[in-house]
Amino acid sequence: MKKIHIALLVLIAASIAVLISFLKTATTYDSINIAMSKPGKFVHVMAQLDKTQPIEYDAVKNPNYLRFTVFDSTGARFQVVYHNAKPDNMEMSDKLVLKGRYENDHFECKDIQTKCPSKYKDNMAAAKKEAASSTSGSTN
Amino acid sequence: MDYIGEHRLPGQLGHFFLVLSLVASLVAAFAYFKSAHKDMHPDAPYWKRLGRIAFLIEVFSVFAIFGILFYIISNHLFEYKYAWQHSSRSLEVKYLLACFWEGQEGSFLLWSVWHCVLGLFLLTRKKEWEAPVMSVLSFVQFCLATMIAGIYIFGWKMGSNPFILLRDSGVLDSAPALHLDFDVSKAFRPDYMLSIKDGNDLNPLLQNYWMVIHPPVLFMGFASTTIPFAFTIAGLWKKKFGEWVSDTLPWALFCGAVLGVGIMMGGMWAYESLTFGGYWAWDPVENASLVPWMVMIAGIHTLLVYKHTGYSLRATHLFFILSFALILYSTFLTRSGILGESSVHAFTDEGMNWQLIAFMSVFVLPALGLFFKRYSEIPAIRKEEATSSREFWMFIGSLVFFLSAIVIIAKTSLPVFNKIFGSHIAPPENPEYAYNQIQVFVAIILGTLTAIGQYLKYKQTTSGFFWKKIGIPTLIAAVAATLILVFGDVNYKKETYGFMIAIWGAVVAAVYAIIANASYLWLGIKGKLKIAGGSIAHIGFGMVLLGILISSSKKEILSNNIEGAPVAVGPNEDPRDNLTLFEGIPSKMGQYTLTYESDSQHPKKELWFYNIRFKRNDGKEEFMLQPNAFVNYKGREGLMANPSAKHYWDHDVFTYITFLPNPAAEKDTAKFNTSIAKAGDTIFYSKGFIILDTVTSQSNLPEEIFGKDGSLQQAVLKVHAKTGSLYTISPKMARAKGETVALPDTLTAEGVIFQLQNVHRDNTIELGVKESAALSKFITLKAYKFPFILLLWLGVIVTATGMLMSMFQRITQQRTKKQAGA
């Protein structure tokens, strides 16, 4: 066997090993109930902001403390604490991807991704708004 | 029905050219195919001529489509969905092109335009390769044309047409005001255009000059991967294995330079206008364009090996095929909406997923099939390469680069994996580290190979020669790297010690690559700049590596908020990164004192600029940064911030707004609470307490202002805020011409207004206290320090320059060879 083939095999084996170890460090997308059932484990949770509950954030007092409530499709809910600035479009988002772990009585969040309604729907809303505002001058 | 205010002609012309380009590209592909397939047949030249004519018609159509769409956007013809969706009247002219490529259709069109330009260059060159290469290129063009065709075939929509009218697009269907009798089931009103006054506008994050120039460069890079691919396929098809390498090399070098610059321009855009605090986040969209570049670079190196020694031709085939295949895969990833959960900036799903998959399969499967079918026919040398030869290590380097690309794209494909297998695997807790911990070792290997590669000779290198040449550069590099590590304090302690040591190793390798290649300019090629392209590109690559390593591992958060954090930072938690600044109140942040001085608004848009003065605590320097933010832009609630940076040669100070008080909530609704007090009394309010110091009265006042019995009362108050600050405030009250006028005093930092409402004879006062959040104008920001980011940008420029130098040198070389042959 040529040296270059040995190198090839070794490098390919190394790449596969890297990918397997990557899968081992990978986490999971979980529901709120499952996240709560494994406290301390890092998970991704897809949920929606509960707008009936207060969003605790006062940038004047502490810009690095945000507390809010979310619920998911199963109806389960928990409180989330995020030690960072409040994501600007959080109230408008229709979905939040929360990354963190459930601890004690809340979800300690390291990162939030906000998913806004798609641009297309936005357009619809804007068009409707515009249309509504233009009705005044039109009789037919 | 005729509609008032619609301009139908551009759209009709556009439709015509869309169809023409679709047909012409198919004809070109077919004619060139016939010509290439039977190149000995007497009909072959006729087919070739037909192919050429069809291709020229195709070029004309694509340029026409491009021109018409740009006309529609720049003239604000909002009856077309594309203009309405992506632009607006208030948009600056310089961003009109950015609107053009904001949408899927425009960016496909841009890609297609570059193919036309490259195809025209190809036509003026190599005649013997014209037919098979142009056949492949025209077929790619045909596939791109289907993406923007917008034709229905048996009820199945093919492509998305950029010339579709707004009223046909479905957007307006549910707006009763635009329909006859306010009934959405009826036709549109003839004057519906009167209601469409302005467009939806370009996403504010894309309103940046990098967005005007980055996509064209990137798509030129995408388009240019097609040429080496087309040559490879042509060679396999006509069984002229490897005869195309000299023709392909300049194209491959061009592609490497342009695609590389395009990717890094994307990084600069991210750095300048996004707020993740950096230029690279291993985002799927970034990875998807990086990986084809890496494979292209691997291909360039194996191609050089083949050219000089005859080895590695099979690998070159595979790399050029896969580079193009990965471009198609990246197109699929970013445009299918499959990345939805995991990427910030992918296109949304336009319902073209099957078409995208078909686009990918129609090239990748036959190409790989042809490659494996012909595999054993592709010439390869049986004899083993010597381990002291340049080709051996170049091959190893290419292989490492290639496999590292495969590892990156495999990790990036997690959402695809989830989709296929229905699993719910998510990225690791620290996704960036998951990439970095592997790629740092790739950097060590590649840095070292880049350093020693050119000192090795093809075929065989004697160790005496090698060490004599490389000895001195190695010594200099060792000293330089040691100095950097000792004095540069490159200690990245966030992850494991092993990782920190690996970073040290990579820094050494990068420095070695820079110095060894710089030395080679004198030791190896004796300063002959003409052939210095390779060395210069390698110096640039070393600079890029070093820039990445230092700027990322020494990135510092300046806005660590130490004061006022109610909870201590736990062992695994990130530091508190955000700092709130009140207007006019200096706050300490690391070695700087920051003051939020003022803000101003863009004359036309809801874009606000915040002036923040940075003053070094040692008094040596003062500067102003002006991060900006779109606030409630076009009725979309929220804040979209753009950072601002101060550049030094060795670092950047970088800041952006993370939170603003909601301007809608600023309406003053609080009322004055009145308290009665005399000197020495204490009045409490929610954020502290107030002590009434003195009450004074003045009566000797100018009569023309105050009238006859005018007086002016003043109360001096000491305000003790909860934060520990003490303020002196003096509200006044004037009696002038029989009227009482209160002259309140405002304590902005605490958001409190004091109003002297009455002063009794015994000097007791009635004091009104109003607290309002609206008063405390503040911003919350994050600030970073990025060291040596300039080194990275410079490195990119140097690498690209080196590659382009090589390209020109190869072109001249070929020309002289041809002249000598003729």
| Cα–Cα distance, B350 to B331 (Å, whole number) | 13
Residues B415 and B431: beta-carbon distance below 8 Å: no
Do B550 and B593 sit in the same domain of this protein? Answer: no
State residue B631 phi and psi, 5-degree precision: -110, 120
Residues B306 and B242: beta-carbon distance below 8 Å: yes
Residue B87 lies in a domain: no
Do B616 and B695 sit in the same domain of this protein? Answer: no
Residue B701 lies in a domain: yes
DSSP helix/strand/coil, B625: strand
**Better-scored residue on pLDDT, B734 or B329:** B329
Residue B166 lies in a domain: no
Contact B194 A122 (CB under 8 A): no
Do B549 and B443 sit in the same domain of this protein? Answer: yes
Our count of domains for chain B comes to: 3
Rounded mean pLDDT, B531-546: 94
Residue B572 has pLDDT above 50, yes or no: no
How close is the nearest chain B Cα to the Cα of A64, in Å?
A: 6
Do B616 and B544 sit in the same domain of this protein? Answer: no
Do B767 and B805 sit in the same domain of this protein? Answer: no
How close is the nearest chain B Cα to the Cα of A123, in Å?
A: 7
Q: Which residues pair with B179 in a beta bridge?
A: B188
Do B674 and B753 sit in the same domain of this protein? Answer: yes
Residue B636 lies in a domain: yes
| Cα–Cα distance, B235 to B371 (Å, whole number) | 10
Question: pLDDT band at B724, cuts 50/70/90?
Answer: low
- For chain A, list the domains and their CATH numbers: 26-124 (2.40.50.140)
Contact B392 A62 (CB under 8 A): no
- B738-774 confidence digits (pLDDT tens): 778 888 887 766 778 888 888 888 888 888 888 775 5
Residue B350 lies in a domain: no
Residues of chain A with pLDDT under 50: 118-140
**Res B349: pLDDT:** 63
Rounded mean pLDDT, B438-456: 94
**Residue B197 near chain A (CB below 8 Å):** yes
- B665-684 confidence digits (pLDDT tens): 544 556 788 888 888 888 88
Residue B582 has pLDDT above 90, yes or no: no
Identify all chain A residues contacting B177, using CB atoms and an 8 Å cutoff.
131-132, 134-135, 138
**Residue B200 near chain A (CB below 8 Å):** yes
**Res B606: pLDDT:** 80
A77-82/A106-115 β-pairing: parallel
| Cα–Cα distance, B141 to B108 (Å, whole number) | 10
Do B547 and B450 sit in the same domain of this protein? Answer: yes
**Res B775: pLDDT:** 56
**Res B126: pLDDT:** 66
Residue B124 lies in a domain: no
Do B443 and B472 sit in the same domain of this protein? Answer: yes
Closest CA to B745 of B737, B735, B736, B733: B733
Other CB atoms within a 10 A radius of the CB of residue B43 amount to 11
Contact A19 B773 (CB under 8 A): no
Please report which helix (H) or strand (E) contains residue B712, including its range.
Answer: strand B711-721
Which of B602, B636, B661 is the endpoint of a domain? B661
**Residue B357 near chain A (CB below 8 Å):** no
Q: Which of B194, B410, B659 sits opposite A63 (nearest CB)?
A: B659
**Res B571: pLDDT:** 43
Disruptive mutation site among B164, B414, B429 for chain A (greatest number of A CBs within 10 Å): B429
Q: By percentage, how much of chain B surpasses pLDDT 70?
A: 93
DSSP helix/strand/coil, B395: helix
A95-103/B556-557 β-pairing: unpaired
Q: By percentage, how much of chain B surpasses pLDDT 90?
A: 44
Do B456 and B546 sit in the same domain of this protein? Answer: yes
Query: In B, residues 398-437, which contact A (CB 8 Å cutoff)?
Result: 399-400, 403-404, 406-407, 410-411, 414, 424-429, 434
Contact B426 A28 (CB under 8 A): yes
Residue B481 has pLDDT above 90, yes or no: yes
Q: What count of CB pairs under 8 Å joins A to B?
A: 171
Rounded mean pLDDT, B28-47: 90
**Res B569: pLDDT:** 45
Question: pLDDT band at B566, cuts 50/70/90?
Answer: very low
Residues B578 and A61: beta-carbon distance below 8 Å: no
Residue B680 lies in a domain: yes
Contact A62 B565 (CB under 8 A): yes
**Res A133: pLDDT:** 38
Q: What CA–CA distances, in Å, run from B116 to B45, B213, B256?
A: 22, 19, 19
Please report which helix (H) or strand (E) contains residue A98, including its range.
Answer: strand A95-103
Residue B228 has pLDDT above 90, yes or no: yes
Please report which helix (H) or strand (E) contains residue B597, including its range.
Answer: strand B592-601
A27-30/A42-49 β-pairing: parallel
DSSP, res B342: T
**Res B342: pLDDT:** 61
Residues B504 and B485: beta-carbon distance below 8 Å: yes
**Res B636: pLDDT:** 64
Contact B427 A8 (CB under 8 A): no
Do B483 and B465 sit in the same domain of this protein? Answer: yes
Residue B141 lies in a domain: no
Contact B580 A124 (CB under 8 A): no
Other CB atoms within a 10 A radius of the CB of residue B571 amount to 4
Do B476 and B535 sit in the same domain of this protein? Answer: yes
Rounded mean pLDDT, B650-656: 91
Q: Which residues pair with B425 in a beta bridge?
A: A28
How close is the nearest chain B Cα to the Cα of A66, in Å?
A: 12
> Please, how many CA atoms are within 13 Å of residue B89, restricted to the half-sphere of its CB?
5
Identify all chain B residues contacting A30, using CB atoms and an 8 Å cutoff.
424
Do B600 and B491 sit in the same domain of this protein? Answer: no
Residue B495 has pLDDT above 90, yes or no: no
- B187-227 confidence digits (pLDDT tens): 888 888 888 888 888 888 788 888 889 999 999 999 999 99
CATH code, domain carrying B707: 2.60.98
Closest CA to B624 of B602, B655, B651, B649: B655
Give the structural domain span for B801: 437-554+788-822
**Better-scored residue on pLDDT, B464 or B296:** B296
Which of B631, B661, B691 is the endpoint of a domain? B661
**Better-scored residue on pLDDT, B80 or B667:** B80
DSSP-H helix ranges across B310-352 = 313-335
